[in-house]
Amino acid sequence: MRIIGHGVDIVEVARIRAMLEEHGDRFLNRCFTAGERGYATTRRRAAEHLAGRFAAKEAVLKAIGTGWRGGIAWTDIEVHLLPSGQPEVELHRAAAAAARQLGIREWKLSISHTEQYAMASVIGSGG
């Protein structure tokens, strides 16, 4: 398989924490799927986990080169964990269509976070 796209993003955890405090469920429901909300909000450092997923979504958009154009919604990009604990990207609706059009069939995702920052790197491959 060849690499078709790569994206990296970094997010300040304080920014996500502020969005949670200011907008609460409205922010959570707009930006995260039910599965992502269920996972992250049960964690002791929920804002860090949400920031990691937020960064992953931005990184995917960079890898497919669309930004938030073409009707892509935050919830079109979902991060969940495999039984091994490895994060995995799953695309839905417009994001899935954009990746398919590029020939991306597989994603590799890495997320890392501290109290201050969360970062994600994704590689989309296919062909």
62 is catalytic: yes
If you average pLDDT over residues 18-45, what whole number do you get?
Answer: 95
Task: Determine phi and psi for 74, rounding to 5 degrees.
Answer: -55, -40
Assign 94 a pLDDT band (cuts: 50, 70, 90).
very high
Structure tokens at 50: 């949400």
What pLDDT digit, counting tens, does each position of 34-86 carry?
999 999 989 899 999 999 999 999 999 999 998 777 899 999 999 999 999 99
Give percent of the chain above pLDDT 90. Answer: 90
Q: Where are the domains of the chain?
A: 2-126
Dihedrals φ, ψ of 70, to 5°? 75, 25
pLDDT band at 6 (very low <50, low <70, confident <90, very high): very high
Flag whether pLDDT at 13 surpasses 90: yes
Q: Which CATH superfamily is domain 2-126 in?
A: 4'-phosphopantetheinyl transferase domain (3.90.470.20)
Where b means 16+ CB within 10 Å and e means fewer, 69-79 reads eeebebbbbbb
The residue annotated as part of the active site, out of 62, 80, 92, 108, is 62
Q: Which residues contact 63 (CB under 8 A, 6 or more apart)?
A: 4, 5, 6, 7, 104, 122, 123, 124
d(CA 115, CA 113): 7
Q: Are 125 and 13 in contact (CB under 8 A)?
A: no
The reported pLDDT for the residue numbered 5 is: 97
